[in-house]
Structure 1
Amino acid sequence: MGKPGGLMDAKDPLEEGPIRLITHPELSPNNVDNPFHTAGTTFFGQFMDHDFTFDLSSRLGVPVDPEESPNSRTPTLELDSVYGGGPIADPTLYDPTDNDKFLVESGGLFEDLPRDPDGIAIISDPRNDENLMVSGIQAAFLLCHNRMVDRLRSQGVPADQVFARARRLVTWHYQWIVVHEFLPQVIGFGITQDVLRHGRRFYRPASGQHFMPVEFQGAAYRFGHSMVRPSYRANLAGDQGEPFFGFVFDPAGQGQGDPVDLRGGARAPRRFIGWQTFFDFRDGELKPNKRIDTKISTVLFRLPIAAIPTGDPPTALPQRNLLRHLTWSLPSGQAIAGAMGIPQLEPDALTELRQFGVGLERSTPLWYYVLKEAEVLGDGISLAGVGARLIGEVILGLLELDPQSYLAADPAWRPTLPGRPNGDFGFADLLTFAGVDPGSRGQ
């Protein structure tokens, strides 16, 4: 199912190059654009994932009790992937001349993550340098925090309170974006509001005992892999005055100091993100995501080993996801639908799985099932059925069960940073406050 050239491969004609795959979507008839998602939705979701899950111990395809695969991240949306243990526990993350602020360096034209002499990013979670886009989001949060520190100081906040208050405000704005922008995009406004107003029906751990369900971590939340485009325009004028286009990963980039692709782990003047491609700044430069369906961009079938946290094969991301289903002995999509009382996909909706001759159309790996639900029931625009309910209840549950989150501590809270004229606040507004928006950069 998940092998290169197999059932899930969108078979993008990579020989056409990264630019034509953007400007001529008809070249990839199996990999359809999603006009209701921005290209940045994928990478904001990846950044979120790194905030609440990290499994380094389980071996793919080798069954293991999930309780023996500890999650190295706290199951909360508290930005520990950014803040680490704070300036006392993790001083290398912070500016030695001002411990309330993060250390941020220059990549030549604009910001870059701090790096050691070998180019390794000095950040709390190394995965946030896997590609240029998530690296840029990490840098934006560092700058957002630093500007929040300046803002609080200008308001006369006592010096011994500045860091904690800045962290809380940045975290709450991030959580607001998750609830009011990200979730309505990926699961729909209706189910987001249903969970908020009527409560969680399935994810109901005891107080103080919230956890990360393996069905979420090992399968359902991996829906974002289907939204990845083969290539992106990283910025409009960073490549000696010209746009910088690249595949997400390209074998030709291996070993290059300034890779031709958009992998992370390297510094060069052109290696920054022009966010108008990824989020809506109302300038006509926005590009869409790919739809949530069972076709995955071909570039994700040949990951560089450096992009795999455990450093082991296979390098095809869909194969890795399907092997994780075996690793944690996850129930099938149909079994979870039955347990939830959600109508199951009929075998006739999964006829492509009959070729394998093992009944997968009746007992489907959860990750594939969630993608197929979105494809059949949501037209690839958003998750549906099991996937939507699972994602919505877990993410909102993590927030509601965290006494430090805005939903638990102050549900009437509203963003205090400048937003849109209609009062909305989204990730584009956070990027603007951080000073990495197109207007601030002049490109």
Structure 2
Amino acid sequence: MGHGSDSTYETLINQRRVYDSTRSSGCPASPGGQMGAGEVLRGRHLFPELVDKPIALMAAQGDDTPVERTQKALEAISSRMLGPRDPDDGSETPAAYTYFGQFAFHDIVFSRVFGAAGASGKHSVDNAVTVGLDLSGLYGRGPTVDAHLYDAASAIDTTPCRFPMGLPAVADPTVIRAVDPGGRGRDLPRIDAGGAFLAVCGRKSPYRPLVADPRNDDNLILSQLLCALMQAHNRLVDLQIRDQGATPLDAFERARAFLTSVYRRVVVDDYMRRILSPAVWEHFFGGPDFRGPGFARLRPLSDLPLEFSFGASRFAHGMVRNRYRINQSFDENPGTLRQILSFSSQRSNGDVPVRENWIVDWSRFVGGDAQVQHARRIGPFLALELATVTHTSDLDGTPRSIAFMDCWRCYHLGLPSGQTVAKAVGEALAATGLDVPVLTGPDILPSARNVARHGYVAKELVKILQAYPEFLAQTPLSYYILQEASVLGDDGNRLGPVGSYIVGATVASALFKTDENEMRAGSLSLAVEPNDLPGLIRMADDRLVTDEQLAGYLDRFIHPARSARVHRRTGDIAS
């Protein structure tokens, strides 16, 4: 459930090593040495001035080097970051937003190492997609370049304009009741890679997703979200071709522009409002066209800031539940997170295609009725699979938990401590009058509410944190963001000021500090509808949004002035 790639991480580690070694030795800067590495690192920091203030490794003790002692401390701490059950008092945020955030963060920038090494002998890190929240994870580079992702509307006109949809696999025999009796459930389109063309070892079902960004097949809920967006696009295209006589190309472009605009509106006006502190949301988005006073001071992004990708974005791990009621078959016996993660081609032995009775019923993930599940409160108590199970590994191949790696990467990459970043955020927001407390010492221990909520495991975490006072004074940024949310974020309902600033600044830069050509696929407007995640997902299902309603959404997006006149004349709702 990460937002970057191992190759990017390893490249950044090497750049940090070069920079630190040349700076400490006092040697003159050489091409590709301190100066080159320093420029790259500063360009990837939200606060470039903090590149020279990395978090300190813990002091050596006995036979342990600083690295060894730090890793031992993180092993002890992360193993106790365990919320063994989903508390009854979850957050105010429905569970779908956990995975919508993962999709949006994937969409901002997809970094990878391209091509052969250059003249310097080093690879370069480039953007694989634009940074304008343009649904690249859905559309890729469009049907002209990525034609393999698309299907034609008919056998007569073969212009690629819609997405092929995959069918789910046979039912899971361990799930008693059948769901979706009409057979409307769908999976991502997948390629059978079991033949001579591509051998995939160690998989139950050798299938690969035919999608722009394979990371969006990370887990069942995320892949089903992408599937819903594909279905919504197909409905928009089919409706225009069938009822309006549009050409496939025109239908595609209008559908893409409309869906992208709705998506951007949902990211800013629904997801960001739920996750950020209200004052920070106003700072970045509380203005005309969602451009708040704070966006003007931001720099364009060349890639995700390290404070975000390896720090603040990890807050989403705190929202992940241990169990999910996928559909009515799971109301009495919810599916485990391990099962949710298994429906993915990203893992060995991935169980794909998705089984037909594991198709997500979105009414249990979004909306406001009693059956909706809610995300966990943001804080340092994680689901079992994230806190203790070794789903990932260090660069040397050592198996690690996600909780361990979230903290260790902060040291390994030389990120500033949470306290250092908090001071920088306080300075950045000084003119707004917003208070940004710096948490240290006892403030880093589990809050009284979390001790009451988690009991024994919270008291165990208190003990182990007190055994490592350096961690309380110089806290890894990823952990600091979790703890700040539980202390200053309405008991984990949202991020605190530091986490809110980093996430808000990253999203605002992605939206507003980009080339205008990258924004052409869809606008960001108060007028576009629907304006929340439930509305976006419901467009995939004609039982929830009729063709007539969908046509109205699209018409008011394409002809806003005409729709406003209709509203004045008839009283019909135009927004």
TM-score by length of structure 2 reads 0.62
The CA deviation at 1:396 is 1.9
CA deviations 1:341-396 (Å, max 9, x no partner) are 23311322024475353612121111111111111111111101211111112212
The correspondence for 2:508, drawn from 393, 396, 420, is 396
2:261/2:524 contact within 8 Å kept: no
**C-alpha distance 225-76 of structure 1, shift in aligned 2 (>3 A):** same
**C-alpha distance 201-53 of structure 1, shift in aligned 2 (>3 A):** closer
Query: Who is 1:101 aligned against?
Result: 162
Structure-2 separation of matches of 1:159 and 1:120: 27
- In the alignment, does 2:261 pair up with 1:172? yes
State how 1:335-414 maps to structure 2 within 5 Å. 335-341=420-426, 342-351=436-445, 352=462, 354-357=465-468, 359-378=470-489, 379-402=491-514, 403=516, 412=525, 414=527
1:52/1:77 contact within 8 Å kept: yes
Work out which of the two has the higher radius of gyration on C-alpha atoms and give 1 or 2.
Answer: 2
The CA deviation at 1:216 is 0.8
The CA deviation at 1:132 is 0.8
**C-alpha distance 354-313 of structure 1, shift in aligned 2 (>3 A):** closer
The CA deviation at 1:165 is 2.1
The CA deviation at 1:146 is 0.9
TM-score by length of structure 1 reads 0.79
Secondary structure, in 3 states, of the residue corresponding to 1:320?
Answer: helix
1:203/1:394 contact within 8 Å kept: no
- In the alignment, does 2:198 pair up with 1:113? no
Query: Who is 1:422 aligned against?
Result: none
CA deviations 1:411-439 (Å, max 9, x no partner) are 545224xx4xxxxx211112211118779
- In the alignment, does 2:372 pair up with 1:316? no
Q: Percent identity between the aligned chains? A: 26
Aligned length, in residue pairs: 397
Aligned amino acid, residue 124 of structure 1: A
Query: Who is 1:82 aligned against?
Result: 138
1:8/1:294 contact within 8 Å kept: no
Query: Who is 1:249 aligned against?
Result: 338
Secondary structure, in 3 states, of the residue corresponding to 1:234?
Answer: coil
Aligned amino acid, residue 415 of structure 1: V
Structure-2 separation of matches of 1:143 and 1:112: 10
Secondary structure, in 3 states, of the residue corresponding to 2:334?
Answer: strand
CA deviations 1:226-247 (Å, max 9, x no partner) are 000011011114x8xx877311
Aligned amino acid, residue 385 of structure 1: P
The correspondence for 1:277, drawn from 341, 364, 380, is 364
- In the alignment, does 2:81 pair up with 1:9? yes
Name stretches of at least 5 consecutive residues in structure 2 with no aligned partner.
Answer: 1-72, 114-122, 170-182, 193-205, 427-435, 446-461, 547-575
Structure-2 separation of matches of 1:322 and 1:271: 33
Structure-1 separation of matches of 2:296 and 2:310: 17
1:227/1:292 contact within 8 Å kept: yes
The correspondence for 2:90, drawn from 3, 25, 33, is 33
- In the alignment, does 2:237 pair up with 1:145? no
Secondary structure, in 3 states, of the residue corresponding to 1:434?
Answer: coil
Structure-1 separation of matches of 2:351 and 2:374: 22
The CA deviation at 1:410 is 5.0
1:334/1:364 contact within 8 Å kept: yes
1:76/1:398 contact within 8 Å kept: yes
Aligned amino acid, residue 204 of structure 1: L
- In the alignment, does 2:277 pair up with 1:185? no
- In the alignment, does 2:494 pair up with 1:433? no
Secondary structure, in 3 states, of the residue corresponding to 1:46?
Answer: helix
**C-alpha distance 8-56 of structure 1, shift in aligned 2 (>3 A):** farther
- In the alignment, does 2:316 pair up with 1:224? yes
The CA deviation at 1:283 is 4.2
CA deviations 1:65-88 (Å, max 9, x no partner) are xx9655544323111111112223
The correspondence for 1:132, drawn from 220, 223, 227, is 220
- In the alignment, does 2:293 pair up with 1:199? yes
1:276/1:438 contact within 8 Å kept: no
The CA deviation at 1:142 is 0.7
Secondary structure, in 3 states, of the residue corresponding to 2:324?
Answer: strand
The CA deviation at 1:326 is 2.6
Secondary structure, in 3 states, of the residue corresponding to 1:200?
Answer: helix
The CA deviation at 1:304 is 7.3
The CA deviation at 1:409 is 7.6
Aligned amino acid, residue 320 of structure 2: V
Aligned amino acid, residue 237 of structure 2: V
**C-alpha distance 347-163 of structure 1, shift in aligned 2 (>3 A):** same
Secondary structure, in 3 states, of the residue corresponding to 1:135?
Answer: helix
CA deviations 1:10-68 (Å, max 9, x no partner) are 251xxxxxxxx56xx46xxxxx521x1101111111111221244566xxxxxxxxx96
Structure-1 separation of matches of 2:343 and 2:224: 21
1:105/1:112 contact within 8 Å kept: yes
The correspondence for 1:334, drawn from 419, 434, 439, is 419
Aligned amino acid, residue 310 of structure 2: G
Secondary structure, in 3 states, of the residue corresponding to 1:141?
Answer: helix
Secondary structure, in 3 states, of the residue corresponding to 1:173?
Answer: helix
1:53/1:71 contact within 8 Å kept: yes
Structure-2 separation of matches of 1:328 and 1:203: 26
2:219/2:340 contact within 8 Å kept: no
1:249/1:300 contact within 8 Å kept: no
Q: CA RMSD in A?
A: 3.6
1:53/1:217 contact within 8 Å kept: no
Query: 285-294 vs 3-12, which deviates more?
Result: 3-12
**C-alpha distance 313-426 of structure 1, shift in aligned 2 (>3 A):** farther
Structure-2 separation of matches of 1:235 and 1:409: 33
The CA deviation at 1:151 is 3.3
Name stretches of at least 5 consecutive residues in structure 1 with no aligned partner.
Answer: 13-20, 27-31, 58-66, 420-424
Structure-2 separation of matches of 1:42 and 1:225: 8
Aligned amino acid, residue 479 of structure 2: Y
